[in-house]
Amino acid sequence: MNAATITQPHVAKDGSAVAVVPRTDESGGEPLSVEPISTPVVRATPVQIVLIVLGIIGFLYFARPVVLPVFLACVAGMTLKPLIRWLSCCHIPPALSAAVVLCLLVTAIGVGFFQLGRPAMTWVNEAPQHMTELRQRVLKLFPRAARFSAAAAAVNNLGATDAEKAAAQEKTPTLEVKESRGTGSILNWTGTLLVGIGETLVLAYLLLASGDLFLQKLVHVMPTLSDKKRAVEVNREIQQNISNYLFSVSLINIGLGILVSAGLYCMGVPNAAMWGILVAFLNFVPYFGPVAGVILLAAVGLLTFDTLWTGLLPPAWYLLLHLLEANFITPVLLGCRFTLNPVVIFVSLIFWMWLWGVPGALLSVPILVSIKVVCDRVPAMSPVSELLSR
């Protein structure tokens, strides 16, 4: 009678499970041969991968009140981690150093907003008047635009009777203002913003005060020694790249804001410091930020000066500084470590801005840098790394 016993499964080179089945002869002696029974590993199909990606995108969109503060806290923690390590070398506990660093950061941001809040609120309150004045300036500087607007209105009224024209002129749109509803919306938005900022600060403090606790936990759960080393290398490289990137970009944008403010002050533009800080903040957002800065300073210039050429001096000054910064200063300071594909950066910016708004636009490049580091370290994801590279 044939007898067969199945031993413990082994793993083949292709990753499939193999069960060794020894065959015995009819006399019940020693096994004659070994027949492996392979169990193929189940892999996800392209349809399943697409469904998983869509599920992750939906989760990130609907769970953004919870996920967004976590992402912001992680990026802030990675950025400030080298400073905490330097303070730890000075024999300062991480919990104390994290509290001091975050308090100084919040104080500096609060003082800046407090100093610039009054002129900003004044300009916002006078925004309707500024828009009317800007429209009159544009029509005065570009009379052809006024003629084109009149021609369009004439074409719109073509074929209408005198009674219909008189009735259209007498009609005025009614606007119903619901003060309580608007006030409630502003309060809800402000409360949500403050709660999000508080959650981000608390999470950032916990991440900084815990030191390398999460890295130790991650290394502990890795199965092999090579995976442990790879996890440490990936974590260190992500922290270093994000920290270097944000510190370098912050210094560049601060210098850009100072130069823009100085130039606007020499031109006689009111609230030059406010506009310089605003364009420095907009410069954190690739592509869209500089375009918004040029449009904003063009409007400010046309409102400030009477002639077209003097009105274009503020946006021209900012555009010149931005071109110098983008083509010479930033590549020299950042080097070849962040040579990402411009098309991928643009697509990532659009995606994260759609997903999370302005915070997503600010996080788009750090997230892309993190993905690039992981893809560089994982051999199976080398095609993705090649796609992200320039």
Q: Is the pLDDT of residue 164 over 80?
A: no
- CB 314, CB 298: distance < 8 Å: yes
The token pair that represents 335 in the structure block? 């080097």
Q: What is the mean pLDDT of residues 125-138?
A: 74
Instruction: Pick the range with the lowest mean pLDDT from 7-11, 102-106, 304-308, 338-342.
Output: 7-11
The token pair that represents 60 in the structure block? 């990130």
| pLDDT, tens digit, 9 for 90 and up, residues 310-368 | 888 999 999 999 999 888 888 777 765 567 788 888 899 999 999 988 888 888 888 88
- CB 209, CB 77: distance < 8 Å: no
| pLDDT, tens digit, 9 for 90 and up, residues 257-269 | 999 999 999 999 8
Give percent of the chain above pLDDT 70: 74
C-alpha to C-alpha distance for 242 and 339, rounded to whole angstroms: 14
- CB 349, CB 288: distance < 8 Å: yes
- CB 356, CB 363: distance < 8 Å: yes
In one-letter notation, the amino acid at residue 308 is L
Q: Which residues are paired to 274 by β-bridges?
A: none
pLDDT for residue 313: 92
Give percent of the chain above pLDDT 90: 16
Angle formed at CA 255 by CA 254 and CA 260, multiple of 5 degrees: 100
List CB contacts of 362: < 8 A, sequence separation 6 or more.
284, 285
- CB 201, CB 106: distance < 8 Å: yes
pLDDT for residue 323: 92
| pLDDT, tens digit, 9 for 90 and up, residues 14-65 | 444 444 445 555 555 555 554 555 555 557 687 888 899 899 999 999 988 8
| pLDDT, tens digit, 9 for 90 and up, residues 75-130 | 888 888 888 888 888 888 888 998 999 999 889 888 877 777 777 777 777 767 76
C-alpha to C-alpha distance for 263 and 95, rounded to whole angstroms: 42
Which helix (DSSP H) or strand (DSSP E) does residue 35 occupy?
strand 31-39
CA 21 to centroid of chain Cα atoms: 56
The pTM for the full model equals 0.72
pLDDT for residue 303: 84
Q: Is the pLDDT of residue 2 over 60?
A: no
Higher pLDDT, 250 or 126: 250
pLDDT-based confidence at residue 248 (cuts at 50, 70, 90): confident
pLDDT for residue 225: 81
pLDDT-based confidence at residue 142 (cuts at 50, 70, 90): low
Share the mean pLDDT of the chain: 77
DSSP class of 389: B
Higher pLDDT, 220 or 208: 208
pLDDT-based confidence at residue 253 (cuts at 50, 70, 90): very high
In one-letter notation, the amino acid at residue 380 is A
CA 152 to centroid of chain Cα atoms: 41
Q: What is the mean pLDDT of residues 283-307?
A: 89
Q: Is residue 231 classed as helix, strand or coil in its secondary structure?
A: helix
